Structure 1
Amino acid sequence: MDKKFIKNIDFAKVVNLAGLVDYQAGRVVSLTLVQNDALSLTLFAFGRGEGVSTHSAPGDALVYLLDGQAEITVGGQKVTAKTGETVVMPANVPHGLDAVENFKMLLVVVKQ
């Protein structure tokens, strides 16, 4: 059997990414699809009012909203993103997220 690099998702099937994580009140739910030295792909479901405090990461981070709405702060600038929109956060720049309402996202972090 060949080594698989992606986990927790069916191969050779149509999959709705937003359907792989469910909302839970007062919680952040995550499902890792890829985690290695160069790349991470993680699905998240944030309950309203939840968030990720300001931090920085060693790679560029791309957030793609699958559902809902989030307020994202990048280097002190706040933007609001909703379903179908993307925000990119550069490596080593402080950023954070807040759930304006329930939201789901795919987080892609690319490192050197």
Structure 2
Amino acid sequence: MGYIKNIPHENRLRLAEQVSIQPGQVVSKTLAQNKAVSLTIFAFDKDEEISTHASHGDAMVTVLEGTGKFTVDGKEYILEAGETLVMPAGKPHAVYGQEAFKMLLTVIFPLEG
């Protein structure tokens, strides 16, 4: 049994092709989820968003296609395909579809005790 799910193993693939942009939606596909890490790909239609929230883990986003706007602790960052941003644990952040775009989200959680 593999730890990464919902995508084929031992095959070349493009992550951006594993999730589709849907009108008026934010679509996500979880690839891994446990106490230490969360790995999810997202597709945002233009003007769709995930409102401000915080995580107890460091969140790293990598834009796969298009352009997204990320707001971290009140500061805006515009990221294009191939660019990455780390949103530190505990800082409020939000994601907005500046245009339709896709991203990979990796969250690393602290190991308790």
TM-score range, shorter chain: over 0.9
CA deviation map 1:51-74 (0-9, x unaligned)? 110100010000000000011101
Return 5+ residue gaps in structure 1 as ranges. Answer: none
- Give the one of 52, 55, 60 matched to 1:54: 52
Return 5+ residue gaps in structure 2 as ranges. Answer: none
The CA RMSD measured in Å over matched residues stands at: 0.5
Q: Distance in 2 between matches of 1:71 and 1:45?
A: 13
- For 1:1-112, list aligned pairs within 5 A: 3-112=1-110
How far is 1:4 from its partner? 1.2
CA deviation map 1:22-41 (0-9, x unaligned)? 01010011000000010000
Structure with more of its chain in strand, by fraction: 1
Q: Distance in 1 between matches of 2:97 and 2:3?
A: 30
How far is 1:90 from its partner? 0.2
Percent of aligned pairs sharing the same letter: 47
TM-score by length of 2: 0.96
Runs of 4+ in 1 over 4 A off after TM superposition: none
